[in-house]
Amino acid sequence: GSGDDVFMQCMDEISQLADEIKPDVILLATGADAHRTDPLATLRFDYPGYEYAAKAVGHIARSYANGRVLIGGAGGYQPFDHTPQIWANVVTTVHDEVTLFDN
């Protein structure tokens, strides 16, 4: 399965698409089942890939959607290990990116 390199390339393409469509709001389903150790997935994403994606989403939300992002936890079959950590990291990273220039 694909790893962080492919995930990051996809996020770059999504960022370019966002430059064209300029979304009013972002809906993000944080699928932790793409993590490399998830027992039911064949993808190999890791924490740097999730962080990269979260920063991209936060940047898009800040740039076009007035910071409006709805984040839901989705997938992930390691409820006591990676899943809650990934969800928490994504929410924190998106929040930090959206509020980066707020004062």
For the stretch 39-94, pLDDT in tens is 988 999 999 999 999 999 999 999 999 999 999 999 999 889 899 999 999 999 99
Domain span including residue 10:
4-98
C-alpha–C-alpha distance, residues 99 and 32, integer Å = 24
Instruction: Please report whether residue 61 resides in a domain.
Output: yes
Q: Positive or negative, the Cα torsion across 65, 63, 16, 1?
A: negative
Give domain status of residue 63, yes or no: yes
pTM of the model: 0.93
Report residue 35 as tokens: 């993590």
Q: For residue 103, tell me if it sits in a domain.
A: no
Residue 66 lies in a domain: yes
CB atoms within 10 A of CB 18: 19
How many domains, in total, are found in the chain?
Answer: 1
Is residue 47 a part of any domain in this protein?
yes
Specify if 93 maps to a domain.
Answer: yes
